[in-house]
Structure 1
Amino acid sequence: MRLFDPHVHMSSRTTDDYEAMRAAGVRALVEPAFWVGQPRTGPGSFTDYFDALLGWEPHRAAQFGIRHHCALALNPKEANDARCRPVLDLLPRYLAKDGVVAVGEIGFDGLTDAEEEAFRVQAGLAVGFGLPVLVHTPHRDKAAGTRRSLEVVAECGVPPGLVLLDHLNELTIAMARDAGVWAGLSVYPDTKLDERRTVALLREYGTDRVLVNSAADWGRSDPLKTAKVAFAMLAAGFSEDDVDAVLWRNPVEFYGQSGRLDLDGPDGGAPPDGYAGNTIRRGG
């Protein structure tokens, strides 16, 4: 079983997580830029963060046989902080880099005017660079936020096939279906969806243009949720081909539209023995 986690924040995870993900079948992932919990005080913090998502994390993942790609953006929450707004001016030079397969996470947190302005700027950059967009739907006022997100991407000229509307649930997935965009289902231990609800949505809405992710972050989350959904699908009567479609072929198709998805090369293997006393080999 091969798995592709299309939304997981590995900068918040340990190498033990990489090892466990590899053992569970994860062979590729996308890490979107997000709010890291501690407010950042200026654009310099973002350049270091973006550089890590383009350099250190792919290096770390590769040592466990996992392909790492990223999506870059000024996230919705920090779009409200004037100190972080210059990040929008930095993004074009990062969006041109190999390994960046989407613009994201963009969207809404509190449905503010500042969030919508940043949303529109970054949706425009996605159109200009020909990249898919990963849209974060808010945890509060989800229905209103999902509806407005669809309006904004349409007004900005982003083709529906290049839009992934994430963190959907039973109240919002039909909106994504009706709009022709990709539907993202995030699976968590306590919040968002669980395996049972995810399988029920797949049974009702089908497996076309659906991506399932762990979205694992700093809080209580589980980077093995993609594997757990795979087993839950099989137990519910889905075929192995259905599992491969949802958890491999769909994310490959969506992010492959960037022209930058790289799944070739050595398959990796056991974690390294270390180098010069370190548990992970340092980059050159």
Structure 2
Amino acid sequence: MHKSNLTIILIMFSFFSKGQSNLEAKFLESNSDMNLRNMYQRIVWQMQPTNEYLFDQTKGEVKYIVEENGFEVIVKPEILGTFNLDDKTFLWSDKNPSINEKLNSKVNSFRKTLPKKYQKDKFKSTTEFNSNLLSLFSYNFNSNGFDSKRQDNAIIYYSLLDIKIFKDGNEISIIEPKNHTIPIQDEQNIELIKKFHKEKLEINKQYNDERISSDQAFEKIKFIHLKYWLNEDSYFFPALSWPCNFDEKSILEWKEFKIDENRLFVMYTTDLGWTTESYAYEIDSDANGDKVIINEY
């Protein structure tokens, strides 16, 4: 091969690698922020995959029914695209004639910021990449969060813009698109939760290795739980599990934040192997010692 041609190929490889690397860095940044925003929705109105929902393109809304809280939550969505589970292709929403154009007004401008191979009308993809793409899209447009739902043989990916919460038919809250959490730099509560997790993990490991019986394991793990939980409601007593989603080896990120003036939380994001998931503990900011946890999400 001629030296000049080799140089051109190396330059092109360097360019595309750098572009992909930049995209991965953007995914990390957006996921870190959007995990907080989704957690806020989970805390405030119990946003979770098991909620009954109705996607109404004509009205331009997604309605969630949160039975436990008696909430009806109306979200204005911005649809990013759909993933065909049969041929594993992602199709941008503004290139999909079945999607109302009022629900994809931001998509074209976002697509143009991506590497060329992702600017095609549709491309081969994975659910992991789609989630990262949705996170970046939602972050770029300062959304409240994001969600995805399976419909027949496809998954629809969308951002959460304006959110209205109703109870007994009355509107009780409006959540405008932005990050509603306040980051805290103090590591004290994070270190406390890490200690709690380490002690729980040891009991689960002992049980998994058959060094203690199930009765012994439950007694020990309940004792550890009550060392750290101010709220002693048995509803929150832990189950035995292996592997554990709170194993420090699988945790990607820790955060501490406040919402609504003085509600304090420690959140951790863990790699489950097939996906990532975030969890949060609510901390009583007035409690002393280790016994401080009052809720989990």
TM-score for both structures, normalised by structure 2: 0.24
Higher helix share: 1
User: Which is greater in Rg?
Assistant: 2
* Structure possessing the higher relative contact order (Cα contacts under 8 Å, 6 or more residues apart): 1
Higher strand share: 2
